[in-house]
Structure 1
Amino acid sequence: MKRISALMLAVLFCTVIAAQEQSTFPAPGSDAYDRLKKEGSIPRGFYISGARDSMPAMKYIVQPAPASSVACECMVPVDGTFSIVPFTIGLPPNYENDDGSSPIIALPFNFCFYGQTQSNCYINNNGNISFGAPYGTFSANAFPDPNFVMIAPFWGDVDTRSITSGLVHYKITPTSMIVKWEAVDYFNATAVSHQSLYNTFQLIITDGSDPILPAGNNVSFCYGDMQWTTGDASQGTNGFGGVPATVGVNRGNGIDYVQIGQFDAPGSNYDGPFGNPDQVSWLDNQTFYFDVCSNNGNNLPPVVNAPQSCDTIEMCVGDTLDISATFLSPEQGQTTTIAVNPNGLVNFSIVSNTGGNTATLLAVLVADASNVGYNTISITGTDNGSPAQSTSADVIVHIISAPAISFSFSPTANILIGTQVQFNDATPGAVQWLWNFGDGDTSSLQNPVHDYSATGSYTVSLTVTLATGCTGTLTQVIDVVEEVIQLPVIAPNVFTPNGDGKNDALDFSNLLMYHGNVLQVFNRWGNLVYESADYKNDWQPKDMSDGVYYYTLFIPDRAETLTGFVHLIR
């Protein structure tokens, strides 16, 4: 109880520095502060000094680096390795607050910022981190701005005090810091006339070598569902309008900056970093990677928005993949162009490639069997700054073979109504099956049995799935016929091929009811003298001598073989 009371006394009043003048205001989070904020009496461009500056550096647990190199990832799920940011305004364990900042954070790695090493920072509740000073400023400015040194994935008036609002989480490793604003609300969202809206976004900074980001980058902005832009104290209404939220990086010298955009409305329209304020849902599920280390003529390389560059994309042969990338020029008036190298991939085509202050690429890849395995598509954006700077993004595509589908069924002919038809899959590596028997019935068994209730031709399809997730479909036609009386095949004992039109051929009675019959005839010495793979009662030998001949007749439809002797007499 004493500790909480001391904390409340420490923040009862604060000193606000704005426009180089010093004034005393009630502490953020207090009723008096909220009242002044709603009235518009809190100046823009302030940060809180006094009690915050006297607090010791923030203590935190450095999470161990992964045991092995991990693939880059953007939106990292909050788990047990994350902690809630201990803002100096707000009480533990959740530190719900408005306009608060963390104590100073001593980073366990060197973060390169415009050619200078930053070894500590502040996490500010209002959607940014800062260097040199904490900021409680809730109404964002456009960049460049000489008064703020910050990296802002979404600089807006975040307020986590509502019951339904999420919190701000962080995680520090030896080479990276992740800050995630998860489903956070805006200022005064709890007013009776207002609706609660929530934003989820994340910032990652690294030492430039951590594989959590693509090579050559040390900052990423990642977004989930973005639902609001502006709090009430920034002239917003129901989360929109008023002073736009700002997304970007600001060096604080009034010259060097990166601006991805300003946002003040619902919807998904976007006209570039420096046009009119944009609509916030354009940020939904977006990913931006960039390098803020360069001090090469104060020209940073282009910012890449290519979500596919941070994953290995798996495709099955025959699949189609749309590949998109956007490069934002860091400064107003710059033009960026895009170059693409598919590195030998076939069936790769560029749909559009448009340069500009916002450069865009759209390409299509149809996975081909000749490219089975891992493939790299290299995409590079180059600006026309002085000197020119480039950013590259590699899209890794893993193309997987399609199934070699095969199946059979039995019987194959004379299938009657009610006949039990056995279907057998012979596809190598199949782990899932979906049969469609063409009559409305299906089965997920590997080798099902099915019977038909009506005659007709049925298209049977088998769709299989391999362990890799690749699928394929094969179809065959099966004929169901009416039941017929199967008469026995009767063999003759004599035939007279003398050309008189009477009994000239070796004629088996009822044989033509059956198909695929195999006849072999042998002479008295056992020599094969005649053979037919589909005998039609049409053998009339001209050069055979009279005598006794031996025959075998295989009738597959009856699963029967007839044997016997026949006399040839002229």
Structure 2
Amino acid sequence: MNPALLTIAIIIIPFLTIAQTEKSLQPIVAGSEQYQELKASGELNTLIENGIKIIVPQNPISSTQKVKEYEGGTPLPQIFASACYGYTPPTTPSQTPALSALDDGTIGPISIPFSFCLYGTNYTQFYVNGNGNVTFTNGFITYTSSGFPTALTEMLAPFWGDVDFNGAPGGQGGLYYEVQSDYVKVHWVDVGYYSSHYDKLNTFELIFTDGNATILPPGKNVGFLYDDMNWTTGDASGGTNGFGGSPATVGVNKGDGIDFIQVGLFDQPGNAYDGPQGSNDGVDWLDNKSFFWNVCNSTNQEPSFVGIDICDTVRVCVGDTVQLDITFLANDVTDSSWASIDTTNVSGLTINSNTSGNGSNSCIIFSTFIATINNVGTHVVSYSTWDNGTPPDTINFTITIVVDTISLLPTITGDTTYCPGDSVLLNATIGFDSYLWNTSASDTLDSIYVTQGSYTVQGFLGGCSVTTPPFIVTESPAPIVNITGSAIICFGDSALLNATSGYDTYLWSTSTNDTLDSVYVTQGNYTVTVTDSLGCKEISSPFNVVMFIPVNTITGQIPFCPNETITISSVSGFSSYLWNTGSTTQSITVGAGEYIVTVTDGNGCTDIDTLVLVAEPAPLANFTIDPLTQGGTNQPITFTDASTISFGNVTSWAWDFDVTSIGGANPSFANTQGPHIILYSLQGTYSVSLTVIADNNCQGIFMSEYLIVDDIIVPTIFTPNGDSHNEFLVFKNLEFHSGNKLVVFNRWGGKVFEQENYANDWNGDGNSVGTYYFILTVEDLEEIIKGTITILK
């Protein structure tokens, strides 16, 4: 690998969406509540088919896509590859993926640092689509798979189904991609299915390359690689518990409705699979499989094979029988396929049958290999398969068979000495099919307990066996052990105790699981039992650990109002203080809230105390106004205090009846509870405030706007004659009222003028001198204003 390419970029993908229709229906925002409701009800598929537009919240793709009818065509073949090119997780799998709240997402375009060839077209950008596929011209959000071929778009679809990333538990639902100089990887890791189901998860990977990258088998530029697959269909695609409904599609699509590769359509659990063109398949069949193609050439492709991996080496022992059954698939339903097997110098291989096939019936070779002592070694079996396509094409590959003798030699390990009254565990080399010790015909495990004596074990593997030399066990004497470590600990801490090193095993009094030469403990008395290399045991003297606990309390709480502060303190005499505010002093000045201080004493022991400060209740200032929403000039307006307090009493009031200083309030101020009657001499919107203080000295403020406006004055005549005087039909005070509508009719009932929110700007529009009738509707007036108006010139 090029050293410059060792830095891998793992990117957690946020999702975007694109529109998928050209028809001008009311658009829907992808990921919106409306989008999710329509998808959950099953109506969204119908709307998309009828041309509904999907609006992208950000980074939209402007081009649209239209579903075209399938015009028939020829699927390209598939090649089933081996675990030597199997699924690998993202480069940094510990990184938790970020999950988008936007369903059916896509991101792109993403630049490709090489030219990717798909059916003769080179692409230098791609789109990662959340629903298990990658496209190159536009992003693609369709969540219900339609199978291949389709004219919707070009596509690499390792698993086109309704993937759901929203609300995944435990950090599940990751989507990653990495771009290198000669390949691109896209990972869907532990993803669930719509709507927010994570009882079943799928993990799969897409790789596409410049055709030369060594990450794929030679000559291939696309790979689909699978880990564990458990579901096929989301709820909105007719699925129930992840299965049924519209099947998920696996394959490659040119986008012309003709050329495609289809591995299968998956809608059920299990391993059912009868080829790309057969019945719908079981998703478990994909587990740990890999598929590779060269999708650049749109002409005839070589036949494909199923049943053995492209770089397999079969290892067998003497006496084993291996069944080698390989199925070859033609790349077109009209093509026929044939295969041959070369058994030259391959002793023990028998061809049971060799049947030719076509696009509907596969070509199959059944063969059997028997490993014997006479064919120990390495054998290479060569296969060829060809079709009668245009032009005809051939693929050759080999399988290596290695017949092993029993190269594994058994040995005995364990203590050669032990203490009186004990026994020794002897272990034979693991990896044999079975064992036989010289102690008894019933001792057939890979280990045995013994006392003093001479012992052998016979190991059996692949029809062969071998016996070890004698292993001698004798008795011997006992060890000495002491415990060292800290005898003082703080509350919540632990002490590291160490036993005398150099012994084979340790067993502390704390737990049968504590078998190292050191252990972390809390307060108490402890011993350790050691065993030396001779198997002898000894128990140490007790070691006592004492715990120190400092006491910390926060003081200084006194009553205070909201937005005020007080000073609180921890106990003096500690070595250090640390508050949750970041302060490191003994005392801090704060307002309402929760405060935590951690203190440390001279032994390094800490204690934590918490104090919650609650402010005194402040009064809630309020008042009422009569008339309620508006009044006229010089009309008495009554302001009545309506302030409340949860505890205590209001003792002070301060009124300001003209905060905005319009100048029409009389009086402008008051400092009693009221009620207060105010006269306003000028029209306008007045801001009125009330400040109240309770007997705990806490205050509250309330402000409200009030409109002073007079009645509308209706004119009788206006003269639009160009002398700049009385040129317009003006209703005095109309501008102080909310929305209106004016309609004017001539004396024969014909409408000559109409305007919403009339702004006193009609000049008669050239109508002749005479009398006209008008209707003026004002939203904040109950009655409609009607009358006549005369135009003179």
Q: Which residue is equivalent to 1:101?
A: 106
Q: Mean Cα displacement is larger for which, 28-37 or 387-396?
A: 387-396
Distance in 1 between residues matched to 2:84 and 2:445, nearest whole Å: 41
Map 1:156-305 → 2, pairs under 5 A: 156-164=161-169, 165-190=172-197, 196-296=199-299, 299-305=300-306
Map 1:495-534 → 2, pairs under 5 A: none
Q: Does 2:455 match 1:462?
A: no
Q: Structure 1, residues 152-184: CA drift from partner, whole Å, max 9, x if none?
A: 111111112242443223333332222222221
> How far did residue 432 of structure 1 move?
11
Whether contact under 8 Å (1:286, 1:305) holds in the other structure is no
Q: Which residue is equivalent to 1:21?
A: 23
Distance in 2 between residues matched to 1:368 and 1:186, nearest whole Å: 51
Map 1:67-466 → 2, pairs under 5 A: 72-80=84-92, 93-95=98-100, 98-164=103-169, 165-190=172-197, 196-296=199-299, 299-305=300-306, 308-342=309-343, 344-354=345-355, 355-357=357-359, 358-367=362-371, 375-403=379-407, 434-437=435-438, 438-442=440-444, 444=446, 462-463=458-459
- Aligned with 2:442: secondary structure? coil
Counterpart code for 2:142 = T
Distance in 1 between residues matched to 2:141 and 2:244, nearest whole Å: 20
Distance in 2 between residues matched to 1:222 and 1:353, nearest whole Å: 30
Distance in 1 between residues matched to 2:208 and 2:130, nearest whole Å: 17
Counterpart code for 2:258 = I
Distance in 2 between residues matched to 1:260 and 1:121, nearest whole Å: 22
Distance in 2 between residues matched to 1:367 and 1:207, nearest whole Å: 42
* Alignment TM-score, normalising by the size of structure 2: 0.45
Distance in 1 between residues matched to 2:248 and 2:290, nearest whole Å: 18
CA distance 1:313–1:185, change in 2 (3 Å): same
Whether contact under 8 Å (1:249, 1:259) holds in the other structure is yes
Q: Mean Cα displacement is larger for which, 429-438 or 245-254?
A: 429-438
Counterpart code for 1:139 = T
Distance in 2 between residues matched to 1:152 and 1:356, nearest whole Å: 26
Counterpart code for 2:91 = D
> How far did residue 48 of structure 1 move?
6.0
Whether contact under 8 Å (2:108, 2:127) holds in the other structure is yes
Q: Structure 1, residues 40-88: CA drift from partner, whole Å, max 9, x if none?
A: 2324579967543469xxxxxxxxxxxxxxx94121133328988xxxx
Distance in 1 between residues matched to 2:303 and 2:145, nearest whole Å: 23
- Aligned with 2:239: secondary structure? coil
Distance in 2 between residues matched to 1:301 and 1:49, nearest whole Å: 43
Q: Does 2:473 match 1:473?
A: no
- Aligned with 2:191: secondary structure? strand
Counterpart code for 2:85 = E
Whether contact under 8 Å (1:175, 1:207) holds in the other structure is yes
- Aligned with 2:59: secondary structure? helix
Q: Which residue is equivalent to 1:491?
A: none
- Aligned with 2:20: secondary structure? strand
Whether contact under 8 Å (1:405, 1:464) holds in the other structure is no
CA distance 1:77–1:17, change in 2 (3 Å): closer
Q: Structure 1, residues 337-381: CA drift from partner, whole Å, max 9, x if none?
A: 333335633222344544343444444434456766655433344
Structure showing greater Rg: 2
CA distance 1:30–1:369, change in 2 (3 Å): farther
Whether contact under 8 Å (1:350, 1:363) holds in the other structure is yes
Whether contact under 8 Å (1:432, 1:444) holds in the other structure is no
Distance in 2 between residues matched to 1:435 and 1:329, nearest whole Å: 53
Q: Structure 1, residues 411-459: CA drift from partner, whole Å, max 9, x if none?
A: xxxxxxxxxxxx9x9x9x999994434431257589x99989xxxxxxx
Q: Which residue is equivalent to 2:692?
A: none
Counterpart code for 1:169 = Y
- Aligned with 2:265: secondary structure? strand
> How far did residue 134 of structure 1 move?
1.2
Whether contact under 8 Å (1:328, 1:359) holds in the other structure is yes
CA distance 1:431–1:39, change in 2 (3 Å): closer
CA distance 1:430–1:138, change in 2 (3 Å): closer
* Alignment TM-score, normalising by the size of structure 1: 0.61
CA distance 1:111–1:15, change in 2 (3 Å): closer
Q: Which residue is equivalent to 2:33?
A: 31
Counterpart code for 2:459 = T
Instruction: Count how many residue pairs are aligned between Structure 1 and Structure 2.
Output: 412
Larger relative contact order, structure 1 or 2 (CA cutoff 8 Å, min sep 6): 1
> How far did residue 284 of structure 1 move?
2.5
Distance in 2 between residues matched to 1:341 and 1:22, nearest whole Å: 64
- Aligned with 2:19: secondary structure? strand
RMSD, matched Cα: 4.3
CA distance 1:430–1:186, change in 2 (3 Å): closer
Counterpart code for 1:150 = M
- Aligned with 1:32: secondary structure? helix
Whether contact under 8 Å (1:15, 1:49) holds in the other structure is yes
Whether contact under 8 Å (1:346, 1:368) holds in the other structure is no
Give % identity: 34
Counterpart code for 1:152 = A
Distance in 2 between residues matched to 1:292 and 1:107, nearest whole Å: 17
Whether contact under 8 Å (2:318, 2:463) holds in the other structure is no
Q: Which residue is equivalent to 2:584?
A: none
Whether contact under 8 Å (1:430, 1:464) holds in the other structure is no
Distance in 2 between residues matched to 1:97 and 1:378, nearest whole Å: 52
> How far did residue 252 of structure 1 move?
0.9
Distance in 2 between residues matched to 1:324 and 1:28, nearest whole Å: 49
CA distance 1:15–1:285, change in 2 (3 Å): closer
Q: Structure 1, residues 531-556: CA drift from partner, whole Å, max 9, x if none?
A: xxxxxxxxxxxxxxxxxxxxxxxxxx
Map 1:54-73 → 2, pairs under 5 A: 72-73=84-85
> How far did residue 138 of structure 1 move?
0.6
> How far did residue 132 of structure 1 move?
0.8
Counterpart code for 2:164 = D
Question: Unmatched 5+ residue regions in structure 1?
Answer: 1-6, 56-70, 85-91, 408-422, 453-459, 477-570
Whether contact under 8 Å (2:28, 2:55) holds in the other structure is no
Distance in 1 between residues matched to 2:54 and 2:346, nearest whole Å: 56
Distance in 2 between residues matched to 1:326 and 1:82, nearest whole Å: 40
CA distance 1:406–1:154, change in 2 (3 Å): closer
